[in-house]
């Protein structure tokens, strides 16, 4: 019987967007070698915006094409945050 232990990765980061600090919650879904990150953040009204990030050519990219511009503008910063946490 083979057992595979997969580390659960989840963290929150404060990121400045539109002159405001917002708390982004990251959770890794899938195995250590693959998978994606599930990310959620509240908007100005308190509604949760949820999107996924996949690794593509060494960078983490937002998979959903319909995210607000203030989130899309932070894509490179999210990639750096994720790489800093999983190293």
What is the domain range of residue 41?
A: 18-25+35-64+77-87
Specify if 46 maps to a domain.
yes
Q: What is the pLDDT of residue 31?
A: 65
Residue with tokens 């929150």: 12
> Residue 4 and residue 69: Cα distance in Å, rounded?
39
Specify if 69 maps to a domain.
no
Q: Per-residue confidence at 81, pLDDT binned at 50, 70, 90? A: very high
Q: Which residues pair with 42 in a beta bridge?
A: 48
Q: What is the pLDDT of residue 32?
A: 57
Q: What is the pLDDT of residue 62?
A: 95
pLDDT, one tens digit per residue, over 35-80 is: 899 999 998 898 999 999 999 888 999 998 899 999 999 999 999 9
Question: Are 82 and 60 spatial neighbours (Cβ–Cβ below 8 Å)?
Answer: yes
Number of domain units in the chain: 1
Phi then psi dihedrals of residue 46, to 5 deg: 95, 0
């Amino acid at each position: 019987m083979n057992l595979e232990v997969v580390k659960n990765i989840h963290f929150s980061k404060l990121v400045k967007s539109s002159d405001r600090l917002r708390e982004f919650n990251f959770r890794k879904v899938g195995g250590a070698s693959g998978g994606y990150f599930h990310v959620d953040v509240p908007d100005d009204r308190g509604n949760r915006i949820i999107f996924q990030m996949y690794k593509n050519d060494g960078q983490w990219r937002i998979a959903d094409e319909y995210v607000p511009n203030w989130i899309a503008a932070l894509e490179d910063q999210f990639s750096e945050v994720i790489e800093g946490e999983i190293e």
